[in-house]
Amino acid sequence: VITSTSATALTGESNVNINGGTLIVGHTASTTTSNGEGPFVQVKSTDSRGGASFIRHSADAAGSGLYIGKSRNATIGSNTIVQDDDELGRITFSGDDGTDINSEGAKIVASVDGTPGSNDMPGRLQFYTTADGAASPTERLRITLGGSLLVGHTSSEHADGYQLELS
């Protein structure tokens, strides 16, 4: 059963709500996280159900997936090629600091790492953590398009870090 609670809100049984275009499961109010971002899908709970699971049942080797994508086109359904250094997606970890849940403790970012082309998407992964007393995360580790592992710096041209070449 779903009831309209206002012009922009729907409330359903089992604590499922749509409020201002945001699907909220487990509560009625939307919460901003990660520097004020308000995701369209929010799951809230006071127990282990406060999460999401993706399970695939199939008699083969394939598993579930989470797919994150990016286009440079501002129109949904249209395509424009991304550019070097564009962020393709991220996973952000935020904690309640007594005021809100906007402070990031760590994040993982996937970015374009070169010039993309048709069926060619050079990428890198960047891992960030926030130091004690700091307001935002700092990049600590990077895996480049060529497989280099950079620790403590973001380019192989810097001497003040560690670089591991994988072959």
Mind listing the pLDDT tens digit for each residue in 11-60? 666 677 777 788 888 777 778 877 778 888 888 888 887 888 888 999 99
Q: What are phi and psi of 99, to 5 degrees?
A: -115, -50
Give me the residues paired with residue 90 across strands. 109
Q: Residue 11 has what pLDDT?
A: 62
DSSP state of 98: S
Q: Residue 2 has what pLDDT?
A: 67
pLDDT (tens digit, 9 = 90+) per residue, 95-123?
A: 999 998 889 999 999 999 999 999 999 99
Cα separation, 122 vs 143, in Å, equals 12
Q: How confident is the prediction for the chain on average, in pLDDT?
A: 85
14: left (phi over 0), alpha (psi -120 to 50) or beta: left
Handedness of CA 75, 79, 80, 81 (dihedral sign): positive
Say whether pLDDT at 167 is over 50. Answer: no
Q: How many helices (H) and strands (E) does the chain have?
A: 0, 11
Q: Residue 27 has what pLDDT?
A: 79
What pLDDT band is residue 157 in, cutting at 50, 70 and 90? low
